[in-house]
């Protein structure tokens, strides 16, 4: 079972037996390859290495690393550069990254910066990776000052969404990954929001395939029209100015998807008085998030700490924060200037449960 998603200069494939799907993409290239996998999915990395070797590729090495936001930094990249060079990498060596979004972000950036750029292929094993992080060519790492502050646009030669990996994910990770699916629905597929509200996150790979494909298709369409984020692609940052600051303020104890869910609610609160975001659409969004098991408020939130983290957000222009705000389902605005007092107020609302009929 596989589904090929069209629209980008490189193939995006969602399916089962990811190792074989990777071999079908990598085999004809006949590149020497290096496989890098998250230690949490080390077995899947080995399966990929075995499959591409059987397809005729010379596997120079398999590198297993600890991934996660706290390891998405420059030392990990330089360690990867060392491993690649010691394995004999040259400008034609294909690096295959097997893991979630932080792994593909980091490995993609290592590939982008070695020898002025070597090819890489992403094998996404998390929901966030399948519908967002692995698609579009954004690679990068964090700095102590903030998230994703160092990076490059370096598209992969292909993306494989490993649907079998979904069954190995903890329930919490499946739920948090759904926040990116909800975001995709708001940006470009209103009908998907209704499907999410009926979706069972405990389902098997066959159940996940159409959901992953539809959410990924939203991102593919946007990226195809604006690959370097000059305009429309900024809409995919919906909820993320809040989310990245929440993650940073929690010292990355808060999972990305959990932060995105909160960020979506906060963006809706800001949009209430600025874009005409309908209350009915806001309630549909909150309902979908809750149906996925995601929280839309957080206790003990310190607005000042979150706003401090926003000061290094990469979407600032001349020191002024710009937000992405929904106007209606399928209509999202970017570049919205919002006074600091309004941001602070929205953060305070995030600290309280949503009252009946509230925001």
User: What pLDDT, in 10s, does the model give residues 6-61?
Assistant: 999 999 999 999 999 999 999 898 889 999 999 999 999 999 999 999 999 999 99
- Is the domain of 270 the same as that of 327? yes
- Annotation marks residue 295 as catalytic: no
pLDDT, greater one: 255 or 352: 255
Which member of 183, 256, 282, 322 is catalytic? 256
Which member of 240, 265, 315, 322 is catalytic? 240
In a domain, 357, yes or no: no
What is the reported pLDDT for 300? 87
- Is the domain of 91 the same as that of 53? yes
- Annotation marks residue 229 as catalytic: yes
- Annotation marks residue 69 as catalytic: no
Other C-beta atoms within 10 Å of 167: how many?
12
- Is the domain of 198 the same as that of 291? yes
Exposure b/e, 326-346, CB count within 10 A at least 16 = b: bbebbbbbbebebeeeebeeb
- Is the domain of 240 the same as that of 291? yes
- Is the domain of 196 the same as that of 345? yes
For the chain, what is the radius of gyration of the CA atoms? 20
Query: What CATH number did the domain enclosing 311 receive?
Result: 1.20.1090.10
**Average pLDDT of the residues of the chain:** 96
- Is the domain of 160 the same as that of 191? no
Which member of 244, 282, 315, 322 is catalytic? 244
What's the pTM?
0.96
Q: Read off the tokens for 102.
A: 């932080």
Which member of 71, 148, 174, 180 is catalytic? 180
- Annotation marks residue 173 as catalytic: no
Averaged pLDDT for residues 267-293:
97
- Is the domain of 31 the same as that of 137? yes
Averaged pLDDT for residues 180-204:
96
In a domain, 64, yes or no: yes
CA atoms of 95 and 84, how far apart (whole Å)? 9
Pairing of strands 12-15, 2-5: antiparallel
Q: Is pLDDT of 1 > 70? A: no
Terminal alpha carbon distance of the chain: 41
> How far apart, in Å, are the Cα atoms of 194 and each of 181, 184, 219, 288, 295?
12, 13, 18, 8, 18
- Is the domain of 146 the same as that of 248? no
Q: Is pLDDT of 77 > 70? A: yes
Long-range contacts of the stretch 293-296 (C-beta < 8 A, 24+): 293/171, 293/175, 293/178, 293/201, 294/175, 294/176, 294/178, 294/179, 294/257, 294/258, 294/261, 295/258, 295/261, 295/262, 296/261, 296/262, 296/265, 296/354
Structural domains of the chain, count: 2
pLDDT tier at 357, thresholds 50, 70, 90: confident
In a domain, 219, yes or no: no
CA atoms of 24 and 36, how far apart (whole Å)? 18
- Is the domain of 106 the same as that of 23? yes
Query: What CATH number did the domain enclosing 103 receive?
Result: 3.40.50.1970
- Annotation marks residue 240 as catalytic: yes
- Annotation marks residue 138 as catalytic: yes
In a domain, 181, yes or no: no
Which member of 116, 230, 251, 299 is catalytic? 116
In a domain, 358, yes or no: no
- Annotation marks residue 116 as catalytic: yes
Q: 115: domain range?
A: 2-167
What is the reported pLDDT for 237? 98
pLDDT, greater one: 316 or 165: 165
What is the reported pLDDT for 163? 97
CA atoms of 133 and 327, how far apart (whole Å)? 24
């Amino acid at each position: 079972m596989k589904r090929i998603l069209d629209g980008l200069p490189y193939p995006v494939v969602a399916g089962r037996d990811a190792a074989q799907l990777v071999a079908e993409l990598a085999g004809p290239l006949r590149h020497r390859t290096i496989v890098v996998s998250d230690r949490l999915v080390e077995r899947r990395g080995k399966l990929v290495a075995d499959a591409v070797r059987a397809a005729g590729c010379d596997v120079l090495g398999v590198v297993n690393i600890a991934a996660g936001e706290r390891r998405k930094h420059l030392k990990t990249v330089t360690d990867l550069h060392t491993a690649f060079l010691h394995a004999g990498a040259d400008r034609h060596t294909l690096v295959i990254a097997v893991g979630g979004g932080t792994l593909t972000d980091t490995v993609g950036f290592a590939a982008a910066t070695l020898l002025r750029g070597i090819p890489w292929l992403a094998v996404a094993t998390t929901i966030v990776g399948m519908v967002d992080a692995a698609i579009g060519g954004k690679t990068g790492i964090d700095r102590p000052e903030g998230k994703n502050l160092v990076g490059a646009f370096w598209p992969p030669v292909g993306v494989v969404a490993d649907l079998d990996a979904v069954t190995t994910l903890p329930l919490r990770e499946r739920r948090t990954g759904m926040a990116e699916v909800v975001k995709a629905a708001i940006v470009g597929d209103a009908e998907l929001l209704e499907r999410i509200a009926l979706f069972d996150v405990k389902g098997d790979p066959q159940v996940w395939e159409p959901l992953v494909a539809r959410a990924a298709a939203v991102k593919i369409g946007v990226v195809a029209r604006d690959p370097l984020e000059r305009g429309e692609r900024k809409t995919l940052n919906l909820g993320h100015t809040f989310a990245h600051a929440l993650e940073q303020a929690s010292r990355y104890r808060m999972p990305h998807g959990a932060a995105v869910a909160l960020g979506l609610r906060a963006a809706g609160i800001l949009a209430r008085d600025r874009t005409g975001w309908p209350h009915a659409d806001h309630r549909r969004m909150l309902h979908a998030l809750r149906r996925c098991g995601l929280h839309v408020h957080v206790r003990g939130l310190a607005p000042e700490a979150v706003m401090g983290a926003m000061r290094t957000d990469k979407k600032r222009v001349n020191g002024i924060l710009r937000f992405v705000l929904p106007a209606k389902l399928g209509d999202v605005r970017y570049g919205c200037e919002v006074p600091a007092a309004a941001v602070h107020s929205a953060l305070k609302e995030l600290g309280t449960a949503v009252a009946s009929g509230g925001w």
